Amino acid sequence: MRKIAFAALLFAFPAAALVDVTLEPIAGYERVQKLVPNPHSRDRLVYGARLTAGVILFTGEAEYLRGSDTESFPTDDLTVLDAYEKARLGVRSGLKLGRLAAIFIRGGAQASRGREERTQAGVTITVDSPLRYDPYAGAGLRIGLSRRISLSAEVTAVLKNFPRMDDNEYLVTAGFAVHL
């Protein structure tokens, strides 16, 4: 029995050594279309982390993002605080461009929920949005600084009302990865 377990370990170890696992902190910029109190756009910073595991042609990914922003409308005595959480689960596929660079595409599903707090004349109303699921797709570039550290930049679109493209969310991120 021990010989079978040892043989299985020997066969599994070389395959495991080929799998690249990365943990990336994420800092990003997002532009959001807002409708309250009148149509306008809002810019916000987001932060989170992404875990990927796989080989360059097929990698699984899990990601968590959090963001918030506060808008003030002094003429209406109105302050609006928006906060949200997003979790993504998907796959990516890449192509190496030499030894230190790679391009990739990604796609999957995003679960999101948010909270909006409106304070007007000292009265606060809180509205929690229901959990929502949407597909996402994106593309990016990764440049290796060393064998274990790389920089990345990417654009991701969350398709909120497909096939209409006027309601999408776009996230532009830059980050670095530590390859374990």
What pLDDT does residue 36 have? Answer: 64
Q: What is the CATH number of domain 2-179?
A: 2.40.160.20
Q: How far apart are CA 179 and CA 4, in angstroms?
A: 31
What pLDDT does residue 177 have? Answer: 76
What pLDDT does residue 44 have? Answer: 78
pLDDT tens-digit readout, 158-167 = 998 777 777 7
**Residue 163 · residue 172 · CB < 8 Å:** no
Residues 6+ apart with CB under 8 A from 146: none
Domain map (residue ranges) of the chain: 2-179
Which residue do the tokens 């929690």 mark? 128
Residues in the chain, pLDDT under 70: 1-17, 32-42, 180
pLDDT tens-digit readout, 64-91 = 999 988 887 777 888 888 899 999 999 9
What pLDDT does residue 37 have? Answer: 64
Q: In this structure, what are the phi and psi dihedrals at residue 152, rounded to the nearest 5 degrees?
A: -140, 155
Q: How far apart are CA 57 and CA 105, in angstroms?
A: 10
